[in-house]
Structure 1
Amino acid sequence: MLRGLTTVSFFADDVSAARDWYTELLGIEPYFVRPVEGPPAYIEFRLGDYQHEFGIVDRRFAPHGRSDQAGGAVIYWHVDDVEAAFERLLSLGATVHDKPVERGPGFVTASVVDPFGNILGVMYNEHYLEIFGTRPTESI
């Protein structure tokens, strides 16, 4: 039924400011911007080993309206060093949502609230690395 992560959507009142913040965090520019001219209503990055889509949508288009509190699902992105990723996020202006916690051998999680009110989770997950290690290599 569920075949894989396609797009994670975050919301922001100021998509341009969110683009700048995430460009600084990720070290890449979004590959897709809508509209092309004028302030963007939607931007999208491709991230990580599987090039998952990470979109930022103008909050006007949020399906459930605006909330003044961060909430909802926490989506965790695998990182090799949770402490370092957590500290970098804080240094860029995110605030603590959940400090780094070892959830069991091989599993450490943390989360922050980005400057736009979205929860961003980071996780060291040994299962992710096991699955990633079983990917077939591409022929050149």
Structure 2
Amino acid sequence: MLRGFATVSFFVEDLSAAKAWYTELLGIEPYFARPEVGDPAYVEFRFGDLQCELGLIDARFSPHGVSDKPAGAVIFWHVDELEATVERLLQLGATVNEGITVRGEGFRTASVVDPFGNILGVMTNPHYLEMLESLKA
């Protein structure tokens, strides 16, 4: 069911500062920003052997609001059938954290809280499929 790591998302209160910090850390600029003009609400880096994705998201879009406590990351696993996967997770006792959300350009995400209090993200991710296909060549 879980196909592999797709995207890690960090919610940040100061996206400009976080973008600068991760640009310095990774040694690369983000390859993607939304919106494309003006102050971004989301930036994304691709890096590593499998071109894994790290997304920085303005905290105003966090499903849980802003907290002064340490935050974790939601790791999204690529799945082939998002609706069926979410339904199966719910049947197994998970609860909805964030419902299925269309992100554009073929990307859709959802997250659940497992029975142990952990957030599990699942998504359809065209980039993951492109990378997988390129490994077969």
TM-score by length of 2: 0.52
Query: One-letter code of the match for 1:67?
Result: S
Larger relative contact order (Cα-Cα within 8 Å, sequence gap ≥ 6): 2
User: Aligned to 2:68, what secondary structure does the other structure show?
Assistant: coil
Unaligned runs of 5+ in 2: 76-134
Distance, in Å, in 1 between the alignment partners of 2:35 and 2:4 is: 27
CA-to-aligned-CA distance 1:53-77 (integer Å, 9 cap, x gap): 10000000001111111144697xx
Q: CA deviation at 1:37?
A: 1.3
1:45 equivalenced with 2:45 (yes/no)? yes
Shift in CA distance, 59/27, structure 1 to aligned 2, threshold 3 Å: same
Query: One-letter code of the match for 1:28?
Result: I
Aligned to 2:2: 2
Matched positions, count: 79
Shift in CA distance, 37/9, structure 1 to aligned 2, threshold 3 Å: same
Alignment root-mean-square deviation, CA: 2.3
Distance, in Å, in 1 between the alignment partners of 2:61 and 2:72 is: 17
Aligned to 1:22: 22
Distance, in Å, in 2 between the alignment partners of 1:74 and 1:49 is: 21
Aligned to 1:56: 56
Shift in CA distance, 15/50, structure 1 to aligned 2, threshold 3 Å: same
Query: One-letter code of the match for 1:18?
Result: A
User: Aligned to 2:56, what secondary structure does the other structure show?
Assistant: strand
TM-score by length of 1: 0.51
Unaligned runs of 5+ in 1: 76-136
